[in-house]
């Protein structure tokens, strides 16, 4: 998740993530999974996901372990 510089630290990413999670719950999903990058540029996104209860997990779907990706899931 990347926010345009002019909107950084205004809660845009949190609002988007909350909307995604609300829709997932509305659809009765049991889990939300995501893949993100692993280098320092992704630290703000990782911290956001962890703040909203995502936990690191193994690759899912067609993903495989690689040094450039991290995988997260949140049980709803």
Please report, for the domain that includes residue 30, its CATH number: 3.40.630.30
Instruction: List CB contacts of 36: < 8 A, sequence separation 6 or more.
Output: 1, 42, 45, 46, 49, 69, 70, 72
Instruction: List CB contacts of 28: < 8 A, sequence separation 6 or more.
Output: none
What values do phi and psi take at 50, rounded to 5?
Answer: -65, -35
pLDDT at 61: 95
Is residue 1 predicted with pLDDT exceeding 80? Answer: no
Task: Tell me the average pLDDT across 51-67.
Answer: 96
pLDDT at 39: 94
Q: Find out whether 29 and 22 touch, Cβ atoms under 8 Å.
A: no
Residue 60 pLDDT level (bands cut at 50, 70, 90):
very high
Task: Tell me the average pLDDT across 50-71.
Answer: 96
* Residue 50: domain span: 5-61+68-75
> How many domains does one find in the chain?
1
Q: Tell me: the pLDDT tens digits for 10-32?
A: 889 999 999 999 999 999 999 99
**Cα atoms in the 13 Å half-sphere on the side-chain side of 1:** 19
């Amino acid at each position: 998740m990347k926010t345009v510089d002019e909107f950084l630290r205004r809660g845009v990413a949190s609002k988007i993530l909350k909307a995604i999670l609300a829709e997932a719950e509305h659809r009765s999903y049991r889990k939300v999974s995501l893949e993100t990058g692993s280098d320092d540029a992704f630290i703000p996104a990782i911290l956001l996901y962890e703040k909203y209860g995502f936990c690191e997990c193994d690759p899912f779907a067609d993903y495989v372990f690689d040094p450039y990706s991290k995988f997260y899931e949140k049980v709803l």
